[in-house]
Each structure stands twice: as C-alpha cells, then as structure tokens.
A and B are shown apart, each in its own frame.
Chain A
Amino acid sequence: MPTRGELVALGLSASCAEVLGHLWDYLDDEIDGAGAARMRAHIGGCAECRAYAGAERCFLQGLAALKRELRAPRLLRERVARRLQREGCGCWERARRKDAG
C-alpha cells in the first residue's frame, strides 16, 4: 500500500490510500461487493478521488475504443480460408453462406 509520505506528496489524506491502491481493480470490476461499496462511498465523498477516478475512466475508455478500430484485413481472411480449405475444412464456406443469407 502507499506510504503516508507518498500520499502527502500527492496532496491526499491517508483515507485515500485504499482508493489509490485499488482504483483500477474497482474500475475493472474486480472487487467484491463490500469492497466495491466502500470504494464507491469514498469516491462519492472525496472530490480529489472523484476527479482522479474520472480521469482514469477516460483513459480506460480510450484503450477499450481501440478494439473498434482494428479488424483483420480482408487478404488475411482469404489466406486463412484457403489454408483451412486445404486442411479439408468447409467452415469458411458455411460462414460465407450464413453471412450472405
């Protein structure tokens, strides 16, 4: 956990220690109900931690948005399809028919 000195250097009180050390676990939904409730209550009542949590959410949303940007190129799909067909797999044709249907 963060030391008192580290917290003071950040301009935060010792009561923010749990939030600082576990904010990402909380935002990742990796904390159990009681712990999450404790985090939620602290963040709701602490302007500093609320601002920090908001910034972290924004950062994580930016990372999550990268998923929408990057898709497998068409040539790669065709290459995988050809390789699987050589292996005797008719799955690609099935998927194509399904897409067309």
Chain B
Amino acid sequence: MLAVPDVTDRDAAFARDALPWLDDVYRFALSLTRDEPDADDVVQETYLRAYRSWHTFIPGTDCRRWLFTICRNVFLRSRERQRPTVDLEDGEQDAVAAASVYSAARERGYDDIYARLDLAPALRDALDTLAEPFRSAVILVDVEDMTYETAAEVMHVPIGTVRSRLFRGRRLLQEQLLTVAQDLGFAPAAVAA
C-alpha cells in the first residue's frame, strides 16, 4: 500500500521548496503585468494554484521553474491572451545589430557607455517599454539567471526562440540606453575624463 503524505508533510515541503521563491515570482509577475496591483494578484493566484497542485510537483526538480511556469500561465489566462506568436529566426542578426549600437556609441565617444550611465534606473525604464515576448526572455535569462533551456520550458517555446527573443530584447534595450546617453548630453569619454 502506498503511503499517503499527510497535510503537514505537504505544508512543510511547500514551505521549504516554494515559499523561498516569492521575491523571484513577484519580479517575474511584475515584469509581465507592469502594474503592481496586477502583479500582486498574479502572485497570489500563482501560489494558490501551486499549493493546490503541489502533488504534481516532482520533489528534487526545479521548483522556481515550476512556479514561473504557473505564473506565466496565470498571467496569460488573466489577460485572455493567446501565446505571443512572434518568431524570430536569426539571433545573430540582432547580435550584429547590437554591435552596431556599440559602434555608434563609440563613434560618439561613449566607449564606456554602460559604465558611465546610472544603469539601474535606465535599464528599469527601458525594460518598462520593452514589448513582450522580448521582455520575458530578458527577465528570465538576464535578471533571474536562467539558462536558455530553463527559460524555454517556462515560456513553452523552443530554445532557439528564447535565444532570438533574448537577443532582440537586449538589442532594443541597448538602443534605448544609447538614446538616454544622448538625451543626457553625455560628453565624449575623453573630454569628460
């Protein structure tokens, strides 16, 4: 006969494996909703569904990835959105385009643009305007430090799609940072030094 885990065992496992990721789930929810009250709703529903479905979680696997997957599904359901259909074939094109952004920055004398900018607020602002699904890819890989493979599982897309979305997202962010530097009237590095 199979032993049925009692409720306290389940709660203990949930406390140990799921609760520590609340900050991470919140960041991801906020990146999806771009609205704090909406993010709160998504986080609450995510944890509620996770608790109700805890028997489907496989102990020893990546609980954060599991929670992120639920979180994304909750968000999509709440918006009644279909999965984004943007598919980009060639990440290299965006990688080269990003090099062009850097090249343009150097031409203006902003060799150390990312070191000189107050990067955190500039990146937050740029992320706020970044469209889905590029935003999710950047948040999962760059902020939450997921591998392409893990992010692909969360987003339910092939790894190549994560990569191309990530590269497009990064390039768009860098273009915005260059604009910010210009708007701030950055002096060329050699002059400012």
A→B interface (CB under 8 Å)? 1-2, 6, 9-12, 20-25, 28, 30, 51-52, 55-56, 58-60, 62-67, 69-73, 75-77, 79-80, 83-84, 87-92, 94-95, 98
Contacts and interface: CB of A to CB of B under 8 A. Distances in A.
Nearest to A65: B120
Contact of B100 (A10, A21, A55, A80): A10
Interface string B12-26: 101100110011011
A91 B12 contact: yes
* Main SS at interface, chain A: helix
Contacts of A70: 23, 26-27, 30
In the A-B complex, the 3 residue pairs with the closest CB atoms: A62-B119, A91-B15, A72-B26
Contacts of B44: 76, 79-80, 83
Interface residues of B, number: 57
A24 B166 contact: yes
Nearest to A82: B44
B120 A21 contact: no
A58 B19 contact: no
Given A59-B114, A62-B120, A89-B51, A20 B11 contact: no
B163 A89 contact: no
A60 B115 CA distance: 11
A92 to B, nearest CB: 7
B163 A25 contact: yes
Given A62-B119, A90-B8, A80 B22 contact: yes
Given A64-B142, A79-B44, A10 B120 contact: no
Given A20-B99, A79-B40, A84-B51, A62 B123 contact: yes
Most buried by A among B8, B15, B148, B167: B15
A21 to B, nearest CB: 4
Interface in B1-48: 7-8, 11-12, 14-15, 18-19, 22-23, 25-27, 30, 36, 40, 43-44, 47-48
Contacts of A59: 114, 119, 170, 173-174, 177
Contact of A21 (B19, B96, B138, B142): B96
A87 B47 CA distance: 11
A94 B12 contact: yes
A63 B51 CA distance: 31
B68 interface: no
Most buried by B among A28, A67, A72: A72
A84 B174 contact: no
A80 B46 CA distance: 10
Contacts of A73: 26, 36, 40
Contact of B15 (A9, A12, A98): A98
Most buried by B among A2, A73, A84, A87: A84
